Structure 1
Amino acid sequence: MSKYHRRPGSRRNASLFDRVDFNPEIKRGVLAVFLFVLAGLSLLSFFDLAGLAGSFWSALLSVAFGKTRFALPVVLIVIGYLIEKEGEYDYKLTHFIGLILFFLSLNAIFHLNFPTNELVSQAIAGNGGGLFGVALAWPLKNYLDYLAALMILIALLVISLLFIFNMSLARLVETHRIFFAHLGWVGRSILSLAHVVAPLKPSEQDETSFSSRPLLPEEDMIDADSDEEETPEEEEMEESGEDGDATEETEDGTVPARKKVIRAEFHLPPLSLLYTLKSKPTAGDIKANSAIIQETLANFGIPVDVGEIQVGPTVTQYAIKPDKGVKLNRITALHNDLALALAAHPIRIEAPIPGKSLVGIEVPNQRVAMVTLRELLEEESAKPNPAGLVFALGKDVAGKPQFADLNRMPHLLIAGATNSGKTVAINTLIASLLYQHAPETLRFIMVDPKRVELPVYNGIPHLLTPVITNVNKTVGAIKWVIVEMERRFDLLAHAGSRDVTSYNQRAKEPLPFIVFVIDELADLMATSGAEVEAGIVRLAQMSRAVGIHLVIATQRPSVDVITGLMKANIPARVAFSVASIVDSRTILDNAGAEKLLGRGDMLLLTADMSKPKRIQGCYISEEEIKRIVDFLKDQDAPHYTVGFDRAGEESSTSVFDGGTGGRDQLFNEARNLIVESKKASASFLQRRLRVGYARAARLLDELEEAGVVGPADGAKPRDVLLDALDLDTIERGSKDEDDEIPEQ
Structure 2
Amino acid sequence: MTRDDKFNIQRRTVWRNFWQRLSGVPDLAVKLLFVALYLAGMVWVWSKQEAVSAYAQSVEFMSPIMLAAMTHIVPAYLIVGGAVLAVLMVYPFGRKAAQDQLRSIGLVNRAEMVPELLRKRQDKEHPRVTVWEFRNQSIPLAVWEEKQAALEAALDISIVKIIYGKSRSRVLIYAVPTQTSLPDILRWSDSYLSSDSFVLTLGESLLGPVTVNLVHIPHILLGGSTGSGKSVLLKLLLMQALHKGAEVYIADFKGGVDFSKVWREKCRMCFTEAELLDTLDNLVRELEQRKGLLAKTGCPNLDAYNEATGENLPRLVFGCDEVAEVLDRTGRSKGDKELLAQIESRLATIARLGRAFGIHLILATQRPDANIIPGQIKNNMDFRVCGRADSVLSQIILDNTSAADQIPKDARGRFITGDGTVFQGYLFDEEQL
TM category, shorter: 0.5 to 0.7
Structure 1 residues 498 and 546 mapped into 2: Cα distance closer, same or farther (>3 Å)? same
Maintained 8 Å contact 1:414/1:575 = yes
From 368, 379, 383, the counterpart of 2:182: 368
From 371, 385, 406, the counterpart of 1:560: 371
Q: Structure 1 residue 343: deviation in Å?
A: 10
Matched, 1:358 2:178: no
Structure 1 residues 415 and 336 mapped into 2: Cα distance closer, same or farther (>3 Å)? same
SS at match of 1:556: coil
Structure 1 residues 472 and 367 mapped into 2: Cα distance closer, same or farther (>3 Å)? same
SS at match of 1:569: coil
Matched, 1:491 2:293: yes
1:448 corresponds to: 252
Q: Structure 1 residue 309: deviation in Å?
A: 7.5
Structure 1 residues 307 and 504 mapped into 2: Cα distance closer, same or farther (>3 Å)? same
Matched, 1:620 2:430: no
Aligned-partner Cα distance in 2 for 1:405–1:316: 25
Q: Structure 1 residue 525: deviation in Å?
A: 0.7
Structure 1 residues 500 and 331 mapped into 2: Cα distance closer, same or farther (>3 Å)? closer
Aligned-partner Cα distance in 1 for 2:247–2:281: 17
SS at match of 1:407: coil
Q: Structure 1 residue 539: deviation in Å?
A: 0.9
Q: Structure 1 residue 579: deviation in Å?
A: 0.5
Q: Deviations over 1:591-638 (max 9, x none)?
A: 422223242332334xxxxxx04141431333xx2132xxxxxxxxxx
| Number of residue equivalences | 336
1:307 partner letter: K
From 587, 590, 609, the counterpart of 2:400: 590
Matched, 1:530 2:341: yes
Q: Deviations over 1:353-386 (max 9, x none)?
A: 68773245788768632433328627xxx12x5x
SS at match of 1:403: strand
From 289, 296, 305, the counterpart of 1:503: 305
2:270 corresponds to: 468
Aligned-partner Cα distance in 1 for 2:219–2:26: 51
For residues 105-184 of structure 1, the aligned pairs below 5 Å read: none
Q: Structure 1 residue 339: deviation in Å?
A: 7.1
Aligned-partner Cα distance in 1 for 2:281–2:370: 24
1:147 corresponds to: none
For residues 194-343 of structure 1, the aligned pairs below 5 Å read: 295-299=100-104, 300=106, 302-305=114-117, 307-308=120-121, 319=132, 321=134, 323-328=136-141, 330-335=143-148, 337=150
Matched, 1:546 2:351: no
Aligned-partner Cα distance in 2 for 1:592–1:376: 31
2:225 corresponds to: 417
From 184, 202, 214, the counterpart of 1:393: 202
Q: Structure 1 residue 554: deviation in Å?
A: 0.9
Aligned-partner Cα distance in 1 for 2:218–2:165: 23
From 419, 424, 435, the counterpart of 2:243: 435
SS at match of 2:189: helix
1:601 partner letter: R
TM-score by length of 2: 0.63
Structure 1 residues 2 and 506 mapped into 2: Cα distance closer, same or farther (>3 Å)? closer
Superposed CA RMSD: 4.3
Q: Structure 1 residue 517: deviation in Å?
A: 0.9
SS at match of 2:328: helix
Maintained 8 Å contact 1:449/1:523 = no
Aligned-partner Cα distance in 1 for 2:139–2:302: 51
Aligned-partner Cα distance in 1 for 2:178–2:232: 21
1:4 corresponds to: 10
SS at match of 2:371: coil
2:346 partner letter: G
Q: Structure 1 residue 298: deviation in Å?
A: 2.9
Maintained 8 Å contact 1:449/1:519 = no
Structure 1 residues 486 and 290 mapped into 2: Cα distance closer, same or farther (>3 Å)? farther
For residues 569-718 of structure 1, the aligned pairs below 5 Å read: 569-580=380-391, 582-597=392-407, 598-605=411-418, 612-622=419-429, 625-628=430-433
2:315 partner letter: F
Maintained 8 Å contact 1:416/1:557 = no
Maintained 8 Å contact 1:448/1:468 = yes
Matched, 1:403 2:211: yes
Aligned-partner Cα distance in 1 for 2:258–2:177: 33
Q: Structure 1 residue 421: deviation in Å?
A: 2.4
Q: Structure 1 residue 419: deviation in Å?
A: 2.1
SS at match of 2:324: helix
Maintained 8 Å contact 2:221/2:384 = yes
Aligned-partner Cα distance in 2 for 1:325–1:2: 24
Q: Structure 1 residue 336: deviation in Å?
A: 6.0
Structure 1 residues 483 and 591 mapped into 2: Cα distance closer, same or farther (>3 Å)? same
Which of the pair has more CA radius of gyration?
1
1:447 partner letter: A
For residues 99-110 of structure 1, the aligned pairs below 5 Å read: none
SS at match of 1:492: helix
SS at match of 1:561: coil
Unpaired segments of 5 or more residues in structure 1? Answer: 24-288, 606-611, 629-744
SS at match of 2:248: strand
Unpaired segments of 5 or more residues in structure 2? Answer: 1-6, 30-93, 109-113, 330-336
Residue identity over aligned pairs, in percent, reads 23
From 451, 455, 458, the counterpart of 2:263: 458
Aligned-partner Cα distance in 2 for 1:292–1:499: 55
Structure 1 residues 579 and 15 mapped into 2: Cα distance closer, same or farther (>3 Å)? closer
Matched, 1:426 2:234: yes
Maintained 8 Å contact 2:306/2:312 = yes
2:326 partner letter: L
Aligned-partner Cα distance in 2 for 1:614–1:552: 20
2:43 corresponds to: none
Maintained 8 Å contact 1:444/1:514 = yes
Q: Structure 1 residue 543: deviation in Å?
A: 2.0
Aligned-partner Cα distance in 2 for 1:293–1:578: 33
2:61 corresponds to: none
SS at match of 1:551: strand
